[in-house]
Amino acid sequence: MDILDILREVEHPAKGDKDIVELGMVDRARVDGDKIVVVLAFPRHRDPLAEYLVGSTRAALVRHFGKEKEILVETIVKEEPKPRKAGLDLGTEEIEKVRHIIGIASGKGGVGKSTVAVNLAVALARLGYKVGLADADVYGPSVPKMTQTEDDAPQAFQEEAMDGSGTVKEVILPIERYGVKWMSIGYFAPPEQALIWRGPMACNALKQMILQVRWEELDFLLIDMPPGTGDIHISLVHDIPMEGAVIVTTPQDVALADVEKGVNMFLNESVNKRVFGLVENMAWFTPAELPDNKYYIFGKDGGQKMAARYGLPLLGQIPLIQRIREGADTGEPAAMSDEGAGLYYLDLARRLVKEVES
Ligand SMILES: Nc1ncnc2c1ncn2[C@@H]1O[C@H](COP(=O)(O)OP(=O)(O)OP(=O)(O)O)[C@@H](O)[C@H]1O
Ligand SMILES: [Mg+2]
């Protein structure tokens, strides 16, 4: 009979009847001539159960071998590997190689943040930069659909941290498409599940998702922020080392009132981040058959006025273009195109680079 099988009879009284082999406490067990030597490892000195377990180990061995062998049961102290750090102290190893982390935000929903974020990421990549985009909208992630990566599943694995602490951390590989690295909670949770997450859970999932991704070296990591200026935003702005933000707005007055909240979220004293500029989305509409006409459906120059009021650059005005909406729905970003909509985004990307690097 294998000596380990005998040792499996020794249950640990404080570990739900798990045996010492299962618990990894048997450091060595060998038959050496007419001697049997078993070394049990305990996580600390003077373990209160050491004596008891040495006794029951000896008893189990005596039961099987009787008096024919000399039985030696020794103990050593072996510290347990440090448990994974609890909470959100995830470290910043993965994100340290990112040069600029920029939030794409607005106070208001539906103004086109995600569309701008996805197309801006693609345009920056087309200009030769290394780019990633994290979709921070837990309740309505749109990046997988907008990039036709809905059926992709990011690989995840565990790895020992580089800091020598023995901490084990989870690493997630981003999805790559259109020259950009994408990450979204949508790759992991079906939408119905995300909807029932309470605020703190959503915040944690988000931060983990952004901080555990192996982005490698990036020039730009864009964060597509969820609509609003609530708790999730405040905690994101605090916990993700963002350098600043780009604020998206439509020209409407009502949108502008909310945008003001969005701008304040970054500029207020406790946060004190840069706002690189505004993007006026859906600035006008030009029908294909009347290419010289501009219809200011949502008002004219609202973004410009807002920019002037805050002393911020207007990074771009993107018209309402059917190709943009179609691209968002089919997952082929308009920024891939060399004409029309594509040019607006390339232009926006150049302006942003200029602001960030200035
Ligand atoms: N310039 C544009 N031309 C045409 N359609 C656009 C344009 N910008 C955005 N859209 C469309 O408007 C809708 C809303 O855009 P999007 O989802 O990007 O907004 P959002 O601000 O991210 O919304 P949410 O606040 O829900 O996150 C989408 O259907 C998108 O395709
Ligand atoms: Mg969005």
* CATH number of the domain enclosing 68: 3.30.300.130
**What pLDDT, in 10s, does the model give residues 1-54?**
788 999 999 998 888 778 999 988 999 998 888 899 999 998 877 777 888 899
- Mean pLDDT across 261-280: 88
Verify that 137 and 54 share a domain, yes or no: no
Residues 55 and 109 in one domain: no
Task: Print the domain residue range for 47.
Answer: 3-77
In this structure, the answer to whether residues 236 and 348 fall within a common structural domain is: yes
Q: Which two tokens stand for residue 86?
A: 């609890």
Pocket-testing residue among 133, 137, 184, 325, ligand 1, by greatest number of atoms within 8 A of Cβ: 325
* Distance from residue 17's CA to the centre of ligand 2 (Å): 51
CA of 331 to the centre of ligand 2 (A): 14
pLDDT at 238: 84
Ligand 1 residue neighbourhood (C-beta within 6 Å) = 109-115, 137, 140, 142, 227, 281-282, 318, 320-321, 324-325, 328
Ligand 1 atom with least separation from CA of 341: 1
Domain count, the chain: 2
* Residue 82 forms part of a structural domain: no
For residues 2 and 177, what is the distance between their CA atoms, to the nearest angstrom? 54
CATH number at residue 328: 3.40.50.300
Query: Do 64 and 167 sit in the same domain of this protein?
Result: no
Residue 121 predicted with pLDDT over 50:
yes
Output the six-digit token pair for 149: 């990566």
Same domain as 115, residue 10: no
Could you tell me if 244 and 189 lie in one domain? yes
Q: Which atom of ligand 1 is nearest to the CA of 248?
A: 21
Asked if residue 30 and residue 117 are part of one domain, the reply reads: no
Tens digits of per-residue pLDDT, 316-331?
999 999 999 999 999 9
Are 112 and 47 contained in the same domain? no
Q: Are residues 30 and 160 in the same domain?
A: no
Last residue of a domain, one of 25, 45, 77: 77
Residues 4-19 as b or e (16 or more Cβ within 10 Å = b): eebbebbbbeeeeeeb
Q: What is the mean pLDDT of the chain?
A: 87
Tens-digit pLDDT profile for residues 169-212 = 788 999 999 999 999 989 987 766 666 666 777 777 788 889 98
Q: 282 in a domain, yes or no?
A: yes
First-to-last C-alpha distance (Å) of the chain: 75
